[in-house]
Amino acid sequence: MVRKGRAMTQRRQDSGPDALLPSREPVRFLTEAGTAVRARPAYPVPDLDLLRLAYGKMVVGRRFDEQATALTKQGRLAVYPSSHGQEACQVGAVLAVEDDDWLFPTYRESVALVTRGIDPVEVLSLLRGDSHCGYDPRRHHVAPQCTPLATQTLHATGLAYARRRQGTDRVTLAFTGDGATSEGDFHEALNFAAVFRAPVVFLVQNNGYAISVPLSRQTAAPSLAYKGIGYGVPAEQVDGNDPVAVLAVLSAAVRHARSGAGPFLVEAHTYRMQAHTNADDATRYRAEGEVELWRKRDPIARLEAYLRKRGALTDGDVAAVAAEAEQFATALRARMNTDPSLDPTDLFAHVYGEPTPQLREQRAGLETELAAEVR
Amino acid sequence: MAPTTMAQALNAALRDAMHDDDSVVVFGEDVGALGGVFRITDGLTHKFGDERCFDTPLAESGIVGFAVGMAIGGFRPVVEMQFDAFAYPAFEQIASHVAKLRNRTRGRLGLPMVIRIPYAGGIGGVEHHCDSSEAYYAHTPGLKVVTPSTVADAYSLLREAVEDPDPVVFLEPKKLYWTKSEVDLPARAEPFGRAVVRRPGRDVTLVAYGPSVPVALEAADAAAGEGWDVEVVDLRTIVPFDDATVADSVRRTGRCVVVQEAAGFAGVGAEVAARVQERCFHSLHAPVLRVSGFDVPYPPPMLEHHHLPGVDRILDTLDRLQRDDEPDTRFAGGAA
Ligand SMILES: Cc1ncc(C[n+]2csc(CCOP(=O)(O)OP(=O)(O)O)c2C)c(N)n1
Ligand SMILES: [Mg+2]
């Protein structure tokens, strides 16, 4: 699996601050057409089995994303932030870590959570509105999807440090967007992670916009990956629509963290093909031409072309994956078409370990109201 | 028995908690070699090592957010915010995560952690060092909010805070750090959720907490000379709130005054007054009154004694309790 080339771990051993800097250009293995680039980057190439797995997960993820968007139009979801176009990052991140490495996702990461194997109905319960977090974080090693921007990067750092203190070699992976890198918590997290050598990988999916605000209003840095060096955190930038590159770079970042060398920052240049959420109107702030440009860099098409050329993907494989994705969507649609049954008195559960007397009183009050409604 | 200060009792509570439970870790700004600016963590790094009590980068949101992650990972973090007003950078972490994580995850991720905050005034501190910030936390469901007024309670409540399965905002009245009393440590007092009658009386109930309790007790002594038999209730834990003890006292005395250092508007005292009249209306012989700081930013040190509720203001307020069925003229006109 490991090709020749200067492995990143080697680069990191270079002394001096330059070793912390990202590559000048985003790391890229594939052209937009999905052929291998001429100058292969200095990272081990992910093996074909892993790439085939990633392909399948990306196709299922995109179909899930389309289904969730459709469910929103039908009024089944209150809101849905699509990850269409960002599948290489969403899937690559999950495949680069082990199942018991914790993930700290944002609202954008539904496809990553489906890739981790969480029941899609549980993933969508936040957006359907029946629960703030439908899945069991401990079972899946996935924190609740986080909306207050960048706050979760500190949790990821604290947990990474805790698990290292307990003598494990587990890492955590924190997702953020480009806009969130302007929040103070992002900087505090990088700094804490570096100072305490916490094994956390920060993955910034730079999709160019924070709702409507372009990257140029977030930063004047050469790229977001340059935010690492000020904290002593090594960083890399990668073509986030190149699944081979994303897996190669994230795997190296995870190895770095797992080896005890501390945190790592990865910036993935990508694009969200849909509006910020279904409630957003992207035509107000970006031109259709720009979207078209990115449509040509579609991560699924690129990986498919690459795998076909390598003889690792046949028409039959593609059809089988498509059928699997269709089945996944059909099952999800059916299950989402029933209303969840909710117990209103559940409002008072889990505010504290033990309810306070006041909460007991308020619960009794609601029960009386409910009984009156029935009558 | 040697007299112990509140600062020493808090220090002993941390030491004993760390001794009894390896998962307890203490961190914050200057808590290591220095022992904290108020020396509450004095000697902990020396005794337990740098992995158990350590300095962090200077970033309050970072400290609290990092603690959230460590608590998910099985530790019991006790973090120190250096001063009340310097905890504000952490407010987003506290309000959006610390308070909510148990609820958001249907009980699957509880956060056993303590956020210690030296708070309130009366020590001649310059601006940003004297805020009474209890209402912000008490208004946030999911937090427990605790503030001791005695040396024994400082020890007992802090031990309980560390053992509690829920996050606790532990507000330390900094002007009481140096008060002394003879206590046998380890001492255990009433649990969370129990207010305590510090002084029994028949005519009026003074409800106070934290830094205001000694002031209320002093006022009660002075009022005895004026013929008032004053009961003083110390809330100890603002959340959970002990309605039973407060209401029971006011039903007996028929009058209630709430004392707090914080600005009065939308403060904890307002909540207490509302709860008392909801529960004790037919026992009340007079309106529930409040003695609080003014609705102004915390004043410069040379003016703080005008701002803080003192004995005289409490006595003046007792005089307005319509003992002789005279209506209170203060609210008769103008802005009211
Ligand atoms: C602290 C905070 N401020 C504002 C918001 C509102 N908000 C939600 S998403 C968003 C844009 C975030 O952009 P980015 O970090 O680039 O992530 P993306 O949505 O592009 O994935 C904003 C402003 C928020 N959730 N949290
Ligand atoms: Mg963005």
Q: CA B233 to CA B199: how far, in whole Å?
A: 7
Which of B53, B92, B105, B144 is the mutation pick for testing A, counting most A CBs within 10 A?
B105
Please give the residue range of the domain that contains residue A352.
345-375
Does A233 share its domain with A96?
Answer: yes
Structural domain count of chain A: 2
- Interface predicted TM-score (ipTM): 0.95
pLDDT digits (tens, 9 = 90+) for B270-311: 999 999 999 999 999 999 999 999 999 999 999 999 999 999
Q: What is the pLDDT of residues B21-58, one digit of tens each?
A: 999 999 999 999 999 999 999 999 999 999 999 999 99
The structural domains of chain B, ordered by start, are: 4-181 (3.40.50.970), 196-325 (3.40.50.920)
Closest CA to A261 of A148, A347, A169, A185: A169
Q: What is the domain-level CATH number for residue A164? A: 3.40.50.970
Is the Cβ pair B110, A353 closer than 8 Å? yes
**For position A7, what pLDDT does the model report?**
44
Residue A7: inside a domain: no
Q: A244 and A121, same structural domain?
A: yes
pLDDT digits (tens), chain A, 375 positions: 333 344 444 454 556 899 999 999 999 999 999 999 999 999 999 999 999 999 999 999 999 999 999 999 999 999 999 999 999 999 999 999 999 999 999 999 999 999 999 999 999 999 999 999 999 999 999 999 999 999 999 999 999 999 999 999 999 999 999 999 999 999 999 999 999 999 999 999 999 999 999 999 999 999 999 999 999 999 999 999 999 999 999 999 999 999 999 999 999 999 999 999 999 999 999 999 999 999 999 999 999 999 999 999 999 999 999 999 999 999 999 999 999 999 999 999 999 999 999 999 999 999 999 999 887
Q: Average pLDDT of B77-104?
A: 98
pLDDT one-digit tens code per residue, B212-258: 999 999 999 999 999 999 999 999 999 999 999 999 999 999 999 99
Which residue of A126, A185, A211 sits with most ligand 1 atoms within 8 Å of its CB, as the best mutation to test the pocket?
Answer: A211
Joined tokens for residue B34: 């220095």
> How would residue B332 be classed by pLDDT, with cut points 50, 70 and 90?
low
Using left for φ > 0, alpha for ψ between -120 and 50, and beta otherwise, residue B28 falls in left
**Could you tell me the pLDDT band of residue B137, with boundaries at 50, 70 and 90?**
very high
pLDDT at B324: 66
Q: Kindly report the backbone phi and psi dihedral angles of residue B251, in degrees, each rounded to the nearest multiple of 5, phi listed first.
A: -65, -35
Is A157 in the same domain as A139?
yes
Contacts of B258 (CB under 8 A, 6+ apart): B206, B207, B208, B269, B272, B273, B276, B288, B289, B290, B291, B292
d(CA A92, CA A86): 10
Instruction: Give residue B325's pLDDT.
Output: 60
Q: Which amino acid is at A344?
A: P
Closest partner residue to B108 among A136, A185, A188, by Cβ?
Answer: A136
Q: Is residue A295 included in any domain, yes or no?
A: yes
For residue A274, how far is its CA from the centre of ligand 2 (angstroms)? 12
CB B184 within 8 A of CB B132: no
Inform me whether the C-beta atom of residue B66 falls under 8 Å from chain A C-beta atoms: yes
Q: In one letter, which amino acid is A118?
A: I
pLDDT at residue B98 tops 80: yes
- What is the pLDDT, as a whole number, of residue A8? 47
Widest Cα–Cα separation across chain A:
76
What's the rounded Cα separation, in Å, for the pair B46 and B32? 8
Is residue B170 pLDDT above 70, yes or no? yes
- Selected residue of A351, A358, A360, A362 to mutate for chain B interface (largest B Cβ count, 10 A): A351
Q: Is the dihedral of CA A182, A184, A187, A189 positive or negative?
A: negative
Do A173 and A207 fall into the same domain? yes
Q: Does residue A86 lie in a domain region? A: yes
Of all helices (H) and strands (E), which one includes residue B262? strand B256-263
**Shared domain check, A355 and A335:** no
Q: Are residues A226 and A371 in the same domain?
A: no
Q: What is the pLDDT of residues B307-323, one digit of tens each?
A: 999 999 999 999 999 76
Tell me what pLDDT residue A374 has: 80
The pLDDT value recorded for residue A299 is 98
List, by residue number, the catalytic residues of B.
129
The band of B132, judged by pLDDT with boundaries at 50, 70 and 90, is very high
In this prediction, residue A357 carries a pLDDT of 97
Tell me the chain B residues in contact with residue A143 when contact means C-beta distances shorter than 8 Å.
Answer: 72, 109
Query: What pLDDT was estimated at residue A10?
Result: 46
- Residues A371 and A285 occupy one common structural domain: no
Same domain, A329 and A361: no
Tell me the pLDDT tens digit for each residue of A199-250: 999 999 999 999 999 999 999 999 999 999 999 999 999 999 999 999 999 9
Q: What's the mean per-residue pLDDT of chain B?
A: 96
> Which sign, positive or negative, has the C-alpha torsion A269, A273, A275, A281?
positive
Same domain, A54 and A202: yes
Nearest-by-CA chain A residue for B54? A196
Same domain as A178, residue A66: yes
A95 and A72 housed in the same domain: yes
Confirm whether pTM is higher than 0.90: yes
- B324 compared with B80, residue with greater pLDDT: B80
Q: For residue B135, is pLDDT > 60?
A: yes
